[in-house]
Amino acid sequence: MSTEAVDKMIAAELHLRPDRRLPDIPLKKPFSKTNLTIRLTLIGLSLLTVLAFVSFDYKGIQVFQGIYATLLNLKTMFLQPRLHHFTFAAALFEVLITLGLAFLSTLFGAVIALFLGLFSARNLSSPLVSAVIKGLVAFIRAVPTVMWVLIFAVAAGLGSVAAVIGMTFHSIGYLIKAYSEAFEEMDKGTIEALKASGANWWQIVFQAVIPSSLSYLMSWTLLRFEINFSVAVAMGAAAGAGGIGYDMFMASGFYFDLQEIGAITYFILGFAILLEIAANRAKRKLKQGK
């Protein structure tokens, strides 16, 4: 009997008796240098972790006593919050300063990023210009915000000016990527139809691209504003920008007042929740307006 006849008989048997089909045999993953490197790296990190715990000098350390002291500090901080070195009105004013830093950096960054994002979108700009802008933006985003603030502090000095410039610089890199991706989601047929009707580049942008992407632009801008608020708190201490972050730095590093740290933490948390509620309402109204 020929091989073809045997194959036909097997196929017919499997077709008539599907319950007798051969079980699926799992295929082995092919060997690759990438998988080997990942496995060796994980094994090496695991061994180093075990070695660190074994060779660590535990002499004089009271683990349970340290845990108990930490819990007492957390209790004092969050269950007994009080302001000792400034009043409630002064704390509210400092939070508003932090909000102002976040608002200015977001506003400047959004305006600049809007125009650069248009030139960064591949469907609105040339491939060369888009690639250059995206390359620069990737470099800006790779450097942390605090590094940009410290870089500009060399020229402008420590203070609110360096904080705003540094946060604006990083916001530009963040928002250009977000805006350009929103612009690239637009249907190419709409742009081609407007070009065929005689519309120039600016008419296409302001009559089609921005209106269709407005909800995305607002969502990304509000998200960046929330990020800048948290960054402004840190910059108040790191760059001397003022605001509630500087007061938290003084309460923790200078006064070591746990009760005041807890009160300031509640202030920051409360304003962060209010920002989230306001952002959600603004996005909801924008969607309803459409």
DSSP-assigned letter for residue 205 = I
Tens digits of per-residue pLDDT, 95-122? 899 999 999 999 999 999 999 999 998 8
pTM of the model: 0.74
Count CA atoms closer than 13 A to 8's CA, side-chain side: 5
d(CA 3, CA 1): 7
Residues 268-281: pLDDT tens digits?
A: 898 889 888 888 88
Distances, alpha carbon 127 to alpha carbons 122, 124, 181, 195, in Å: 6, 9, 14, 18
Report residue 120 as tokens.
């960064």
Please give the distance of CA 20 from its chain centroid, rounded to a whole number.
Answer: 54
- DSSP track, 56-90: S--TT--HHHHHHHHHHHHHHHHHS---SSS-HHH
The residue count of the chain comes to 290
Kindly write down the DSSP assignment for every residue of 6-45, as one continuous string.
HHHHHHHHHHH-GGGPPPPPPPPPPP-HHHHHHHHHHHHH
Say which residue, 94 or 238, is predicted with more confidence.
94
CA 191 to chain centroid, in Å, comes to 31
**Average pLDDT in the chain:** 83
How many Cβ atoms sit within 10 Å of the Cβ of residue 172?
24
Higher pLDDT, 110 or 204: 110
Instruction: Enter the tokens of residue 190.
Output: 């709409």
**Which domains does the chain show, CATH number per domain?**
88-289 (1.10.3720.10)
Percent of residues, the chain, with pLDDT higher than 70 = 88
With cut-offs at 50, 70 and 90, classify the pLDDT of residue 174: very high
Choose from 49-53, 111-115, 154-158 the range with maximum mean pLDDT.
111-115
